Amino acid sequence: MRNNIGQWPTKHIDRRTFLLAAGAGIAAASVQVSRADEPSETPLRQRAEKKGLVFGTEVNAGPLFSLKQYQDAVLRDAAMIVPENEMKWRPTQPTARQSNYFNADRIAKFAKDNMLLLRGHTAVWHQNPPAWTKDIIGSDDGQTLVLDHARELISHFRGRVMEWDVVNEAIAPEDGMPDNLRNWAPYNKGGIDFIADCFHAAREADPNANLYYNDYSVYYQNQGHRRDAILSFLEKLRSKGAPIDGFGIQSHLIANAEFDENVYRRFLSEVADLGLKIRATELDVSDVRLEPDIKLRDTIVAAHTKQYLDVFFNEPAVVGLLTWGMTDRFSWLHEGWPRKDRLQQRCLPLDDKFAKKPMWYAIADALDHAPSR
């Protein structure tokens, strides 16, 4: 997950964009009565399963184990869950001699007890090493430290996690490094060969887990450089024999961004041609550029969600979708990219009182009309 939205378009909505989006959004908001193939209350997980897809959501241990409405919302709609932070390096190894899997294990048990699939997020990510690793990561021992962590983490959950984001957000063309890799010491020293080693370590730690590379900002018109860089990166990983099974597309969207369906459709096809599965791993839709009116925001967010998912689900290599949370109440966007007016963003399927919003129905409609796998 991004802590900022650096690559996202920043234009404000104009009248023409509003009229187009609002027209589409009204249709999306009314799908529960005019288009849906399933009754309006059919959970998203059941709609997805009917098409051979999996619908899931990110969870946070705090509200998951303290707020019944939150837990009920997860259990009603999700067939898969992924921890927001609980499996990352900083919380799982706060000191060099101490591992702490308490909250991650609680989430894993919750998944097992409720027969939910579990994703692991994330083994290797430049933003989350614990403070004690700072000097080591920059040294000759840095790559070994990262690989050892990945092995320990994935081994701990062996047999419990269906798939892992093994490496997260390794591509940063703006950093000017070889192969468009992010400027981070382990990548600088080892390049793509090191990232391939991360996947080999993950496969060794859990031979039965699906292994994914996860990244952001490949959906919009102005992100062609990132699409090209990531495709080249995935091709090189495959050519080096890395045991990579899929590409996770985060899908942090922005409600009024310029979206070319043909460009995105072609990109998805090119990823599929590499023999990779594709999953949307962190879907939300920021309304940060929209006017305050709630009805307007909900309408445009729903329209954008539907437009995006119709293209996404049309690619046969797509296996499912996770939203980055079910309810607006706990979205990372409120702090990660707040609105100037400080209003709560309406970026997820349920509002802060856990009521379904037009976005929920847009997802339902997209699932109902997705091709069967």
Helix (H, G, I), strand (E, B) or coil at 94: coil
Examine the residue annotation and report whether 335 is marked as an active-site residue of this protein. no
In a domain, residue 74? The reply is yes
Angstrom distance (rounded) from CA 353 to CA 329: 8
Residue-number span of the structural domain to which 193 is assigned? 15-368
In a domain, residue 10? The reply is no
The contacts of residue 143 (CB under 8 Å, 6+ apart) are 186, 189, 190, 194, 197
Burial (CB count within 10 angstroms: exposed 0-12, middle 13-18, buried 19+), residue 355: exposed
The CATH number for 39's domain is 3.20.20.80
Q: Which of 41, 174, 282, 315 is catalytic?
A: 282
pLDDT in tens, 24-51: 444 444 433 334 556 789 999 999 999 9
Q: Nearest CA to 371 among 314, 310, 308? A: 314
In a domain, residue 1? The reply is no
Angstrom distance (rounded) from CA 230 to CA 270: 11
For position 20, what pLDDT does the model report? 41
Examine the residue annotation and report whether 86 is marked as an active-site residue of this protein. no
For position 112, what pLDDT does the model report? 99
In a domain, residue 215? The reply is yes
For position 133, what pLDDT does the model report? 98
For position 245, what pLDDT does the model report? 99
In a domain, residue 319? The reply is yes
Count how many domains the chain has: 1
In a domain, residue 6? The reply is no
Average of per-residue pLDDT values in the chain: 92
Q: Which of 169, 235, 258, 270 is catalytic?
A: 169
For position 34, what pLDDT does the model report? 39
For position 40, what pLDDT does the model report? 81
Question: Could you give the residue ranges of the DSSP H alpha helices within the chain?
Answer: 15-29, 31-34, 44-50, 61-64, 68-77, 89-92, 102-113, 134-137, 142-156, 185-205, 224-239, 261-272, 294-313, 333-336, 358-368
For position 37, what pLDDT does the model report? 59
Tell me how long the chain is. Answer: 373
In a domain, residue 9? The reply is no
What residues are paired with 163 via a beta bridge? 119, 210
In a domain, residue 312? The reply is yes
- Indicate the DSSP class of residue 371: P
pLDDT in tens, 190-205: 999 999 999 999 999 9
Question: N- to C-terminal Cα distance for the chain?
Answer: 28
What residue ranges of the chain have pLDDT lower than 50? 1-35
